[in-house]
A and B are shown apart, each in its own frame.
Chain A
């Protein structure tokens, strides 16, 4: 069964304290892994797409990496405005437009 698992469920950091979020997946054929950020009461905001093992993408304080079994979202020197829920989702071959989402990691960064 295709599955996406994110850990931890919640993460509390002090401002400037770097850390990583994990997204592990078990799927039949990966067609892309997506990271989104979601603020309360808003729709998810696209961050990155990764397609193959070894790929890395960066944007400001965020860096996403991909292996054959998992992806990491590294947050360097986070600020309070980075507080949000981070969602990982995978697209699988032969399933059209369907994305399988993980449960999300709720990140809180305190000043």
Chain B
């Protein structure tokens, strides 16, 4: 299994909602990542987890809250988002932080 699975594929939420994005991999990778990508732009790093510990937080607003419950799962909790947060949210994993990344297909998020 060489897949990174993200759910849901699409999400529409209001500015007062709370929702969560989920990511799962079964490749035994010890590093997992959240990226945000706007249309026609490259992915922007949000968070890096290494061995289930948060190792990089790229000054992301607190309305985004990551969680790594175990080595296979990564969540991104969303609360009080703004319309400008609408984007494709990508999860990725790698064997270690120095290795190539495998990306999921992403969650297309729209904030109304």
Bound-complex Cα distance A87 to B88 (A): 16
Q: Which residue of A lies closest to B90 (CB)?
A: A43
Q: A43-B105, A46-B101 are in contact. Are A96 and B55 (CB under 8 A)?
A: yes
Asked if residues A44 and B103 are in contact (CB atoms below 8 Å), the reply is yes
Count of residues in A whose CB is under 8 Å from the partner chain:
22
How many Cβ-Cβ contacts under 8 Å join chain A to chain B? 58
Count of residues in B whose CB is under 8 Å from the partner chain:
26
Interface centre among A49, A98, A102, A103 (most CB of B within 10 A): A98
**A42 at the A/B interface (Cβ < 8 Å)?**
yes
**B31 at the A/B interface (Cβ < 8 Å)?**
yes
Bound-complex Cα distance A97 to B104 (A): 17
Q: Mark B31-65, 1 if CB is under 8 A from A, else 0.
A: 10100000001110100101000011010000000
B interface with A by C-beta (< 8 Å): 4, 31, 33, 41-43, 45, 48, 50, 55-56, 58, 88, 90, 92, 94, 97-98, 100-106, 108
A interface with B by C-beta (< 8 Å): 31-32, 34, 36, 41-46, 49, 87, 89, 91, 96-99, 101-104
